[in-house]
Amino acid sequence: MKRIALLVLGMTWAFISQAQNPQWKEITTPVKASLRGLSPVSAKVCWASGSAGTWLKTTDGGLTWEHGVVAGLDTVDFRSIQAFDENVAIVASAGQPAVIFRTSDGGKSWQKVHEEHAIEAFFDGVSFFDKRNGYVIGDPVGGKWMILETKDGGFTWNSLATLPDAEVGEAAFAASASSLIATKKGLIFGTGGSVSNLHFYQFGSQTWTKAKTPMLQGAPSQGIFAIAKTDAGLVLVGGDYTKLDDRDKHAVIYSSGSFESPAAMPLGYRSGIAYWKEKNLTVAVGPSGSDFSTDGGRNWQNFSTTGYHAVKFSGERDAIWASGSGGRIGLLVP
């Protein structure tokens, strides 16, 4: 019994130490693309996508990588990706052509499943709440936000029947494809530009509401860039992507209809955020470094000066991955 107790105590201290002192395992990949699309399946399987039509995938925790160019489109920036396992993934472009592709054979071939022809079409992020039901958020077209939905795992996409109005100059950001959250009850997305809003959609009533946030706003480079849903509420990060070290109104907590500013802010503009429920660990990343919080985003501590664009929690709930410029990948595991 004593040996078991000591073992449990040791495991407990290891858990606490890791949660309080996270560290990136920096991984070398065979590509040099800027990777803003990221979709980890587990601590072993992770997909990423980005500039020059690049996709890449590991099935052994980053030891080896498969990679290529989606359908030969080497001029397209695929900033959004959703993977379900080592074989099935969906990518969406940022800019023109505004396209969505799907692979079911691990990236060997890609099928175009959707294309938007409006010149304003620009996809900013993707979010699925299960393997069949997913959504893509895009920049406003004709004064309405573009929101596409699939109910068959990404084979077909259609406009959401009820679309919210966009304010003049309001925009979304594709810096990490993390400004949209889809749940079984509805959608949440955050915006910036002239105004920074949180938009909420209820599937049951098919109605939209919004709340103006205290995030930095008023310029095209400012606003919400990423959202994480935690036990404490929603944690929003962003700022101004032209001022990487500024610490003004670039992180906010939203809970029960009210906003709260963190007591200790992340160290600069942050483009991505992820929440690890089992460890009560929230991680935010940006070009100037990474920060973590163990109290729902109320206090942040910097733990790395390595720059990343995106950070995501794995579908199997066992790891956090990050991606950045120059083919950079990071892995955070217990």
We report the CATH number of the domain holding residue 213 as 2.130.10.10
pLDDT confidence of residue 34? 98
- Residue 294 maps to a domain: yes
Residue 270 has pLDDT above 70, yes or no: yes
pLDDT confidence of residue 333? 81
- Residue 183 maps to a domain: yes
- Residue 61 maps to a domain: yes
- Residue 1 maps to a domain: no
- Residue 114 maps to a domain: yes
pLDDT confidence of residue 21? 83
Q: Which helix (H) or strand (E) holds 2?
A: helix 2-20
Tens digit of each residue's pLDDT (9 = 90 or more) over 153-181? 999 999 999 999 999 999 999 999 999 99
How many domains is the chain partitioned into structurally? Answer: 1
pLDDT confidence of residue 81? 98
- Residue 8 maps to a domain: no
Residue 195 lies in domain: 25-332
Tens digit of each residue's pLDDT (9 = 90 or more) over 278-311? 999 999 999 999 999 999 999 999 999 999 999 9
- Residue 316 maps to a domain: yes
Residue 120 has pLDDT above 80, yes or no: yes
- Residue 308 maps to a domain: yes
Tens digit of each residue's pLDDT (9 = 90 or more) over 185-240? 999 999 999 999 999 999 999 999 999 999 999 999 999 999 999 998 999 999 99
- Mean pLDDT over 130-147 rounds to 97
For every residue of 81-146, which 3-state class applies, written as one string?
Answer: EEECCCCCEEEEEECCCEEEEEECCCCCCCEEEEEECCCCCCEEEEEECCCCCEEEEEEEECCEEE
Question: Residues 212-215: contacts with CB within 8 Å, 24+ apart?
Answer: 213/252, 213/254, 213/259, 214/249, 214/252, 214/259, 214/261, 215/190, 215/239, 215/249, 215/250, 215/252
Q: pLDDT-based confidence at 17, cuts 50/70/90?
A: very low
